[in-house]
Each structure stands twice: as structure tokens, then as C-alpha cells.
Amino acid sequence: MGTVSSLGNNNNAFWENLIAGKSGISRITGFDVTDYPCKVGSQVKDFDPNEFMGPKEVRHNDPYTHYAVAAAKQAVEDSRLDIAHTNKERVGVIIGSGIGGLQTIQTQSERLHHLGPRKVSPFMIPALIVNIATGVVAIEVGAMGPSMTTVSACASGSHAIGVSLNHLRYGMADVMITGGSEASITALGYAGFCSMKAMSTSFNNTPEKSSRPFDAKRDGFVMGEGAGVLVLETLEHALARNAFIYCELIGYASTSDAYHITAPDPEGKGIEMCIKNALNDANVLPENVDYINAHGTSTLQNDKAETRALKSIFKENVLSIPVSSTKSMTGHLLGAAGGIEAAIIAKVIQKGEIPPTINYEEPDPECDLNYVPNKKIKKEVNIAMTNSIGFGGHNVSIIMKAYKAEDKKE
């Protein structure tokens, strides 16, 4: 796995800060927020794309591609996969993004307005299109297998992982480099989301308190940025090269609310069906799930709908299952959220530690599950699940399981 986020630009820093319950959210520094209702975000800090790409490639690409390449190269290094000496045609790339090159759109629009059409960069189009991170990652690591991009708003990264899983299941590849990347903390992005009244505005003076999933005082999501990328491979391929295995990816499902372009079904029926289908795909009973990484955006409706769905699926066992929203610390990375959160549940399985939901201070009567408030807990986790919900009514659930070599011998 590879991660880039406000909590750190490598796996170790990210996990240590996450499990310690630290917030990566601060006042926006990239542009003047004086006239913006929301003035906080979960910004990537101290990141140098030149560590991962050549100067020309850095110059010609958007930050969302920089993050994707950095996370992908970290993931390949972490996997110890030697792509140059393997079957490149059997290594694929699917990186999801909800928006793509938003900074490029903003910058080049300003150039058009102030300098005229001849001053618009010839690299504008390839830098902004949503599939280009996948293309650049494939070029940078030399992967020649299946290559595409998933675009489903905040479910994009999770869709990428699920589609990659099916590529492996169907024998279309041996290895898939997959996850999500986003760089939407821009003046234009904030103007749009603030206009929708979707973002937190009540905690501008205490940014670290602004993302508070399931808490009664939550008032909107907090924008995050970064990338999370995994290396998935068939068990046969992993064993043949003696790879370190974090866990198994055993279940994936995708559904639609068919309800509203931005609001979730208030009864949570779409995400409920998605969770049920993922459990069936994984051949796992609800009572065997040990941890849930919730979508938990800190918006009024989303948190209630997801809670209702979990209650409906897990019934009397629901209070015994730790449910945390790590967006309380990372903010909401939109199309990258699924990649980051899949990496989190893999680490939870490996480490036996569950990250908290910070800022859970005043319970909401309609959000009354075990949200791991404010401090991590230690627990052996055999099966973990993560949910993603996106504008347009897109739902994704992914299930992972501890890998036990002895089970494979039986």
C-alpha cells in the first residue's frame, strides 16, 4: 500500500498519526479564504512531487496525478514487486478520482480570461482529464495490463478496488495497482462546495474540531486531499514470489440509491443492499464482521442513513461491532477516500488496533452505535468492512479478511 494525506506522506507516518487520533485538519493556506464560509481543510503538507517524478512530468501534471504517482510508487515498493522483471502485460492499473485535475481547470481558466486563448497550456487537457492519473502511473511503473479509471464521486476509489478485484477473479491480470486520488482543495472547488452548503462552517477557529462524524454538533464535511493505492494480486502470484500479505480482499458490491443527485436515501436502503451483497460475495455472515470503517462524512443526513443501514443489517449484534469514521482525522478525500480507507482496514487487520472517531463528544440519538469515540482500541480483527457513498447515489462496500496460510492448506 501507499498513502499520501494530511496525516503523512508515507505509510508509517500516516498510520502512527491516525491510530493516535491526531487531526490533519487546519486552516486553508493555499488560497485566501476570507470570503469563504468554510475556511478549513485537510491539506497535504511538505509534499514534494519531484521525489517521485521527473521535473517535466511534475510540470505537466495536476497535483491529483502527483499524489497518485507518489502513492502508487510507495505501494509498489512496499509490495517488493519487480515489474521490470515480471510479466508487465499481466500488471494493470485502475485509479479512481471524483473530479480529476481541478487545479489545472482553475489555473488555465484564469489564463484564458486574463491572457487569451493562445496562452492556455497545450498540456491542459491531458492534465485535467480524470483518467490521466491511471495513465501516468502505468507509464511511471511500466504496467501494461488492464488500464482504466472509475469516476463515481466519493465512491470512485472503492469502485476502482472492486473492479480490480474482478479483473483478478476473471483471470484478466495477475496484479492490479489500484485506489484513488484527489486534489480538490482549490478556490474553485471550495466555491462550489460552499455554495452547496455541504461543508462545515461552525469550527473555522478550531479546525481540528470541524470533522465530527456521528456527533450531534456535526455541520458538514471537511475537504481532504491525497491518495491511497493498493497492490492487489492473486494468491498464486503472491505466494510464487514470497510476497508479504497484509490480508485478503474477499468481498465487493456496488449499488445505487436511485433517489437524489446529492442526498442519500434517508432510510439507507441503497447502502444496506450494498453491504448485504458484499457480505454474500464474501460468503461472510453479519455476525462475523469484527470492524467497520464507516463512510461517516460528518454530514447530517449521511451519518444517519448509514447508521440505519448498519442497524438493519447487523441487528442485535450491531452494538458489539466497532464502527469508526477516520474522516474525523483525514477529512473527506472524495474520490481518494475509498483507497485510503481500504488501506486503513488492511492495517487494522495487520496491527490489531482500531482507529477512533475523534470529536465524538455529544451523542446524536439517531447515531447511537459503538463509534470508538476519541481513543483507539485494541482488538483482533479477522474480518473488516469499509463503505463508500457518493453523489449520484453510488454505494460501495469492500470486505477484507486476515490471511492465514494454514487455512489455505486445509
Q: One of 66, 159, 237, 332 is an active-site residue; which one? A: 332
**274 in active site:** no
Do the Cβ atoms of 397 and 310 come closer than 8 Å?
A: no
And the C-alpha cell for 288?
A: 462475523
511538505: which residue's cell? 46
Which residues lie across from 388 on neighbouring strands? 396
461552525: which residue's cell? 202
Longest dimension (CA), the chain: 69
**332 in active site:** yes
What letters, b where the CB count within 10 A reaches 16 and e where it falls short, cover 385-407? bbbbbbbbbbbbbbbbbbbeeee
Please give the Cα distance from 11 to 400 (Å, whole number): 19
Q: One of 194, 295, 367, 394 is an active-site residue; which one? A: 295
Residue 319: Cβ-neighbour burial (10 angstroms; 0-12, 13-18, 19+)? exposed
Do the Cβ atoms of 5 and 25 come closer than 8 Å?
A: no
Do the Cβ atoms of 326 and 344 come closer than 8 Å?
A: yes
Alpha helices, DSSP H only, in 36-131?
55-60, 63-79, 102-115, 124-128
Ramachandran region, residue 100 (left: φ > 0; alpha: ψ -120 to 50; beta: rest): left
**154 in active site:** yes
Q: One of 154, 194, 274, 367 is an active-site residue; which one? A: 154
Catalytic residues: 154, 295, 332
